[in-house]
Structure 1
Amino acid sequence: MASAVRVHEIGGPEVLRYEEIAVGSPGPGEVRLRHTAIGLNFLDTYFRSGLYPSPQGLPFIPGNEAAGIIVEVGAGVSEFRPGDRVAYGSSLGAYATERVMATAPLVKLPDTIRDETAAAMMLKGMTARYLLRQTHKLKAGDTILVHAAAGGVGLILSQWATHLGATVIGTVGSSEKAELARANGVAYAINYNEENFVERVRDITEGAMCDVVYDGVGQATYPASLDTLKPRGLFVSFGNASGAIQNFSLMALSQKGSLYATRPTLFTHVATRDALLENANDLFDVVGSGIVRIPVNQRYRLADAAEAHRDLEGRRTTGSTVLLP
């Protein structure tokens, strides 16, 4: 029998229940996939807590990112075959040893990418890619602020942005995380527990401030993030690690210098097959060439997903984390 972590009622990590499941044969346009590694993301906690309602209702299997091997294909599937190594970053239901899923979110893995690396980077790496290449087309000479710079997206984004010629300022929560951030492309690491990050950005930039702030934290960094931007700068809110932003003020954008603001998601940036492959192939290129390293700093058994969620929400993780079936 296959096993999975399921959510029967929304709530804290304690609602994650590891149990046996039945996995049938794939239908038309589907494959049966045996997972080898599963990515852990803050997005998973949003579905678990009910911040984001599950499109499957209750119960549901959380997780949107994993790598594995195809064991069976359904009718009409020609792009994949049994034995193919594949990965995905945008399909709910990853916390399982096996699953049946549509082929649309899947991409084949090149030999240069290990399974654990793929599981740790698909959602986070493709997020970093659209943030740098589409939300704002980063160019050499830009100065950016990355909140949670020692987190999964933060470490990937910082390395990639530095390669593109930007100056990266990053916020972190400890001296150890500051060291990790600096080792991964952050030119200036700010410990927000010891320094006012707005004042520190002003000092670093000599008052010029930032072209973009990438904010995956949410409630705890708003509205201060707006004060780190130069006139007509861009506030990118792409996550809610500390809770969703409440009472967002459009008037504040005017008052603080004709600022721009956006709340993008990965799912709309990989909604078509062409967009998915373009994004994934760019990610494979920078990782396969060594431009971006994917640090897998924590590993948990899939059965211990609740513990992993507690550590993630307690800010006790850095970089990427994988769950192993």
Structure 2
Amino acid sequence: MTNNDKNDVVDLALNAAVDWYEGKRSKKGNVNTNIMCVGLAVAELLKNSFPLTDKIVKSENDSQVRGLSGSMVSRILKDNGVEQEFTSEGGRTSRGSLPAAQELAGILNGLFAEGLMEKDRIMVAKGLQNYFVRCIQIDYFAKQRMKIDIDPSKPVSAIVADILCAAYTRPDQPTGIVAQHLVGAKLELRFPNLDIGRDKANAADQQTNRQGDFQLGSTAFHVTVSPMQKLVARAQENIREGYRPVMLVPYEKVQFATGLFESEGLDSRVGVQSIESFVGTNIEEMGEFSSSSIRECIARLVRRYNERIYYCETDKSLMVEEPEWMIGIVGEWDASKRCYALISSSECDAGD
């Protein structure tokens, strides 16, 4: 069999899987998570067996899909570079999982009625798993949002603290990513005519050709939720290069970070501020300390943060769920529209 023939076998299976999966989509455009899990489970069974008879697909008690569990789904996702928490049950206890698995197995059996060679079977199984992993990323993770009570009557610094806390309490604790994009969103709004930079949060300074996570004029901003000794080396490098280093850390880490630089005699050369106050105070200033204007600025901060996450990070679940009052100010989220370094939503350009 030629490479083209092998590709044809995989493409044939993928086309059938797409038709099966899309057939499970509701009128509202949603697909139940158990369907995603079933797709992964059937592909896993295909790695070792074909045809996929009921004896292979059914568990020992004939009531569930063989091998389907939250841990199995988690393992497959991690093997494909997806670290986020998905469903704990993996669709194992859903009544519709077994019939759906039998249906998909039947489609594959009919598609390859003459059988599959071992190499082709494994290629098809891997291709199907890759497809269903993408389905989970697009139809589940990309639609999740961090749920936070954004109360515009609170100090903006407190709202920023709430967002950081929501990130910290997640199993994957992506607090550093969230902090960096909150700072980036604030800088974009505050300095609409400057190139603030949009990069993945784990991009090294050397990769971005900047002196820190953000660089404005001769000031290098470093955003970290866990200040460590290596920050001292970064500050010393900034100073040697003629830059003013500013360290942005969570409120509860300010004293520790300040002590780091005091111990090295750098306390008079390095600025240390809390992320909460750095973002919050500036947003309130931009709102001219007027409740209605601050409310609008909060809406634009969160929308700009969401936009940065959407364009910079693979994990879209780091986006913040926008309440109705906020949507009334900035409009419905539309990924085709992109506001970069523009304060007024009316100036937003259509997607690139």
TM-score normalized by the length of structure 2: 0.29
Structure with the greater relative contact order (CA < 8 A, sep ≥ 6): 1 or 2? Answer: 1
Structure number having the greater helix percentage: 2
TM-score normalized by the length of structure 1: 0.30
Structure number having the greater strand percentage: 1
